Chains A and B, each alone.
Chain A
């Protein structure tokens, strides 16, 4: 199966690779997947307390090219959004943008899960209730 140009672009020039200081209160970290499943995604956001805007986002991913591209794209989309806006990012938006084939949909689900996990981590750190999400269907 050939990869789309957009997946290739993110794979070859991944955006926002790296690590934020997870001990900071303004940083939320989401770590999803499992090594034995062949995919682990770590996605981090840094939130400006005053404005509530996501000022920075970083990722590292162990997984296939589509998983790497999905998380790279997610960090791009996260920057500049408010936390609430970030919650509206849907895995199917990622599928559409990257032209992922059906067998790669779970890579995008992982990215959506990572966003939610990072937001919840941020919320808990800042004394807010974690949001309960419905189980994602495909894994």
Chain B
């Protein structure tokens, strides 16, 4: 038996640790190679520029792009803002309608809502109960004014992968640009921007074993040549699209991280999906537990499960000293709202409150998965002993018939 290493980190969709090989590559760029990549007149600058160029190639290669199509940013959130606002500004003459989806990350949703206030029309598509969008509904959403469609590659809460190639095709048929937030998918599953017809794509290093605070926007240069209006003004870095001194160590780390993901993707996704399936199958043996989202079109390392009649946050407390996961229940603030992603799938609020997201990663071991199965199953059983809803369910009472006190 391999040794069990605690605590167990199963929240890799939130962020990943930096791979030691990535860190090692970065370190010299904090100290001896500290130059500003924009300094053209001395070796400090040249060394930094060369490192950035190399990283740009590594990042481009991960998604089969040209290095010139990569714009480095501070992360996916900034890249998303630049892509959506930048397209809305640049193509304002062509139209003012954007199509996106209710289950997008807040970075997309709130950017679109911001534009809405400025007079841009936004369509938020519904999703089907399995989390996939309905392509016919997408078709119907286009207007002659549609300039952009933004659909995430894979969802951060349930891991569901959208039919990106078809969405891109439909989008182009209507003469709009297609953007995808690939923050969760990049480095985990193959992405080929050429083959798939992606015009703009956003991703970030800290979800793929690189450092926090560095991400990228892919902007297509040919067929068609896509342009975005800069959202940060200054020294004209990144071909004028994103000013600001480049985060050289971060970018170097991003490059290395992208390269490792590319080289290890096949073996790693196979290993992780086997571990994920083991975890999922074991936990589904518990009564009244359900997987959320489509399980065919899904990232290999994510499983989102609702354990009916127990509340997610209370459940997590049963094992969170040793196991880190996240919950779709947000009963932590004045707003008692559960995950809007799960609610968009049509889940009862109650089931949404009962959900846990497990996201595995490069450093997850089988011993940790075995331990998690045991601990989570125990906690679910223990919480059900404490749950008045479980008792009612066992007595055959339909919870929907009860008059609950309103909040």
Chain A: residues with CB nearer than 8 A to chain B? 1, 3, 11, 14, 17, 19, 31-42, 60-65, 67-68, 103-104, 106, 113, 117, 138-139
Q: Which of B332, B405, B406 counts the most A-chain CB atoms under 10 A from its CB?
A: B405
**CB-based contact B313/A60 at 8 Å:** no
- Report A107 CB to chain B, min CB distance, Å: 9
Q: Mark B151-171, 1 if CB is under 8 A from A, else 0.
A: 000000000000000000000
The 5 A-B residue pairs with the shortest CB-CB distance, nearest first, are A36-B349, A34-B404, A38-B331, A35-B350, A38-B353
Asked whether, in the complex, the Cβ of A40 is within 8 Å of the Cβ of B386, the reply is no
Nearest Cβ on chain B to A19's Cβ, whole angstroms: 7
Q: Does B310 contact A (CB under 8 A)?
A: yes
Could you say which residues of chain A place their CB within 8 Å of the CB of B389?
35, 40, 62
CA distance A139 to B399 in the complex (A): 21
Q: How far is the CA of A117 from the CA of B334 in the complex (A)?
A: 23
* CB < 8 Å A-B pair total: 99
Are B333 and A42 in contact, with the CB atoms below 8 A? no
Q: Is the CB of B388 within 8 A of A37?
A: no
A14 touches B311 (CB 8 A): no
> Within 8 Å of chain A (Cβ to Cβ): is B314?
yes
Give the distance in Å from the alpha carbon of A39 to the alpha carbon of B331 in the complex: 8
Those of B361-407 within 8 Å (CB) of chain A? 385-391, 399, 402, 404-407
CB-CB under 8 A from A14, the residues of chain B are 386
A62 & B388 in contact (Cβ 8 Å cutoff): yes
Partner of A42, one of B310, B331, B388: B388
**Smallest CB separation, B363 vs chain A (Å):** 24
B336 CB-CB contact with A under 8 Å: yes
Contact A64 B313 (CB under 8 A): yes
B residues 111-151 touching A (CB-CB < 8 Å): none
Indicate if the CB atoms of B338 and A38 lie closer than 8 Å.
Answer: yes
User: Contact at A62–B311, with CB atoms within 8 Å?
Assistant: yes
Can you name the residue of chain A whose Cβ is closest to the Cβ of B406?
A34
Size category of the binding interface on chain B? 20 to 34
Task: List B residues at the A interface (Cβ < 8 Å).
Answer: 309-314, 317-318, 329-334, 336, 338, 348-350, 353, 385-391, 399, 402, 404-407
Residue of A nearest to B318 (CB): A11
Q: In the assembly, what is the distance between CA of A139 and CA of B333, in Å?
A: 10
**Known contacts A60-B387, A62-B388; 7 further A-B pairs (Cβ under 8 A):** A35-B350, A36-B404, A38-B311, A38-B330, A39-B311, A63-B331, A68-B386
Distance in Å: Cβ of A119 to nearest Cβ of chain B: 15
Per the bound structure, the CA–CA distance linking A38 and B386 in Å amounts to 14
Contact partners of A39 in chain B: CB under 8 A = 311, 331, 336
Q: Give B309 Cβ to nearest chain A Cβ, in Å.
A: 7
Taking the closest CB of chain B, its distance from the CB of A111, in whole angstroms, is 13
**A113 to B404 alpha-carbon distance, docked (Å):** 13
B169 to chain A, nearest CB (A): 39
Whether B388 lies near A61 (C-beta < 8 A) is yes
Q: Given contacts A62-B388, A62-B389, A63-B311, are A40 and B331 in contact (CB under 8 A)?
A: no
Inside 8 A of A139's CB, which chain B residues have their CB? 407
Cα(A8)–Cα(B342), bound, Å:
29
B336 to chain A: closest residue by CB: A37
Min CB distance A30 to B, Å, is 10
Which residues does chain A contribute within 8 Å of B406, judged by CB atoms? 34
